[in-house]
Structure 1
Amino acid sequence: MSDRIELTGLRAHGRHGVYDFERARGQEFVVDAVLELDLGPAARSDDVADTVHYGELAEHLVAVITGEPVNLIETLADRLIEVCLADPRVSAATVTVHKPEAPVPHTFGDVAVTMRRARTR
């Protein structure tokens, strides 16, 4: 599938991490999500009901980011992928979770985990 909806740079405050101080004060997480689906029906109908509403998708993703804490951003990415694949029209999704405030004792630009999952038919 070559059609995609991309939502990049979604920011939310979460309390994910291995260390107690990460859970206590939390930090900003940045998420990029790419959904692969057939956008032809929406293009023909010009009706938002025929596509994935990216505003609603953002709300669901933020609910996961701000919700129950997990130790690893790998686990967080997996939960976010499940949100993306909840719509049966989505054939595959790629999610990147950026943790710009990761507790790394050196100067760095980014820490991120990327996962891609395709729907099993």
Structure 2
Amino acid sequence: MDRLAVVGIEAVGHHGVFEFEKREGQVFRADLVLGVDTRTAAGSDDLQDTVDYGTLVAAVKQAIEHDPVDLIETLAQRIADICLADPRVGWTEVTVHKPDAPIEATFSDVALTIHRSRP
């Protein structure tokens, strides 16, 4: 499989364990890598033969912006499920970044990466 990546999808979400996170929201970023066989699309030069990453990004952005959850693990799984909804995607790697996580230390990012594939 080939690898299609979309890096740095940014949206404000209201995810977190603390009430102020749900109330105030914060920036989340998502990176996607999709395992896709691109040979058909390369031959046809037709968007219908590949993953429309514009539509995918819109769905991921909406997933970040709506239905708050406590854990980035849950958010990452939600995003992976969106990626795998297209039957052409054999596997996905999703990284969720929470750069403003409420941690009492200096740090640059909190990131969780999951890898999911079709059964």
TM class by shorter-chain length?
over 0.9
Cross-structure match for 1:76: 75
Q: Which amino acid aligns with 1:27?
A: Q
Separation (CA, whole Å) in 1 of partners of 2:3 and 2:41: 12
Aligned pairs for 1:63-102 within 5 A: 63-102=62-101
Runs of 4+ in 1 over 4 A off after TM superposition: none
Q: Which amino acid aligns with 1:99?
A: K
* Secondary structure in structure 2 of the residue aligned to 1:49: helix
User: What whole-Å deviation, never above 9, does each CA across 1:38-94 have from its counterpart, x for those lacking one?
Assistant: 000000000011000111000000110001000000000000000000000100000
Separation (CA, whole Å) in 1 of partners of 2:44 and 2:103: 49
Unpaired segments ≥5 residues, structure 1: none
Cross-structure match for 2:48: 49
User: What whole-Å deviation, never above 9, does each CA across 1:5-40 have from its counterpart, x for those lacking one?
Assistant: 100000000000000000000000000000001000
Aligned pairs for 1:16-35 within 5 A: 16-35=15-34
Separation (CA, whole Å) in 1 of partners of 2:4 and 2:46: 15
Unpaired segments ≥5 residues, structure 2: none
Q: Could you tell me how far 1:4 is from its partner in structure 2?
A: 1.2
* Secondary structure in structure 2 of the residue aligned to 1:52: coil
Separation (CA, whole Å) in 2 of partners of 1:46 and 1:63: 28
Q: Which amino acid aligns with 1:96?
A: T
Separation (CA, whole Å) in 1 of partners of 2:62 and 2:28: 12
Separation (CA, whole Å) in 2 of partners of 1:118 and 1:84: 10
Cross-structure match for 2:8: 9
Separation (CA, whole Å) in 2 of partners of 1:118 and 1:14: 26
Q: Which amino acid aligns with 1:106?
A: A
User: What whole-Å deviation, never above 9, does each CA across 1:80-120 have from its counterpart, x for those lacking one?
Assistant: 00000000010000000000000010000110111000111
- Report the TM-score when normalising by structure 1: 0.97
